Amino acid sequence: MMETAVNLWPLVGIAAIVVGFLLRFNPVLVVIVSGFITGFAALMPVMDVLEKLGTGFLNTRNLPLILLLPLAVIGLLERHGLKERAQGWIAQIKSATAGRLLIVYLFVREITAALGLTSLGGHPQMVRPLLAPMAEGAAENRYGELPADVRHRLRAMSAATDNIGLFFGEDIFVAFGAIIFMHNFMLESAGIQTEPLHIAVWGIPTAVAAFIIHAVRLQRMDKKLAAELASLNAQALQSRGDR
């Protein structure tokens, strides 16, 4: 029995999204164009492509409201000193460093994402108002005032930690959409019978490896910050002595 060839040309739509975002085109335009590219590559009629785009729009029309309401709440909390309180609280923990704080958050983020609680973190509701200021506060508690480039690096690493914890943690959640997709894809395209639970279990080694690798990166960041900021402080003291 000959296997049916799989048409891989629809994957060109993914490349279109990547190129469009890299060139910083309008995201809505990029998504629409990539949808047409995918549909045409899959030999779909124009009306079917339009129907799929319209259905997707209707299914997600309430998404802006879901996103904007938490942003308004976070904005009010920031205005009333949420960042300052987070920095003050972490400064009271003498043994805290930016790297150790982010390692703890990475562990919690992966565990909660593995349980399906993906909305407990995120850039607007967790990284910007809490995690990044706490990482900066831990570094300031040890080294004093931080240069602007160090602050930006800490903020970037905070965002990366949230991304890694979510991405590899949610792959363990048995009801995650990607796991269901893999189950259906292997069953329909190759006739391979799998259980979503088995796919989720095999995501655990990857999540553990991701945690270890990123934890090592965070420890290296701590050492690099210590050496860099100690050198800057020494130079500042020397310049004051010369005066």
Same domain, 32 and 136: no
Chain-centre distance of CA 147, in angstroms? 25
Note the pLDDT tens digit of each residue in 21-74.
888 888 778 888 888 898 888 888 888 888 877 776 666 555 555 555 555 555
> Could you tell me if residue 66 is inside a domain?
no
Q: What long-range pairs does 186-193 form, CB within 8 A, spacing at least 24? A: 189/6
Same domain, 155 and 222: yes
Q: What's the domain count of the chain?
A: 2
Q: What is the pLDDT of residue 1?
A: 43
> Could you tell me if residue 175 is inside a domain?
yes
Exposure string (b/e) for 201-215, b if CB count within 10 Å is 16 or more?
A: eebeeebeebbeebb
Same domain, 138 and 212: yes
Q: What is the pLDDT of residue 2?
A: 45
Low-confidence ranges of the chain (pLDDT < 70): 1-6, 56-87, 89-91, 93, 175-178, 181, 183, 185-190, 233, 236-243
Same domain, 208 and 99: yes
Phi-psi region of 191 (alpha: psi -120 to 50; beta: other; left: phi over 0): left
> Could you tell me if residue 76 is inside a domain?
no
Same domain, 145 and 45: no
Same domain, 198 and 228: yes
> Could you tell me if residue 70 is inside a domain?
no
Residue 160 tokens read as 């990366």
Same domain, 86 and 199: yes
> Could you tell me if residue 94 is inside a domain?
yes
> Could you tell me if residue 222 is inside a domain?
yes
Same domain, 185 and 107: yes
User: What is the span of the domain harbouring residue 159?
Assistant: 82-242
pTM (two decimals): 0.65
Same domain, 15 and 123: no
Q: What is the pLDDT of residue 220?
A: 95
Same domain, 86 and 57: no
Note the pLDDT tens digit of each residue in 189-201.
667 777 777 778 8
Q: Cα 142–221–211 angle (5° rounding)?
A: 120
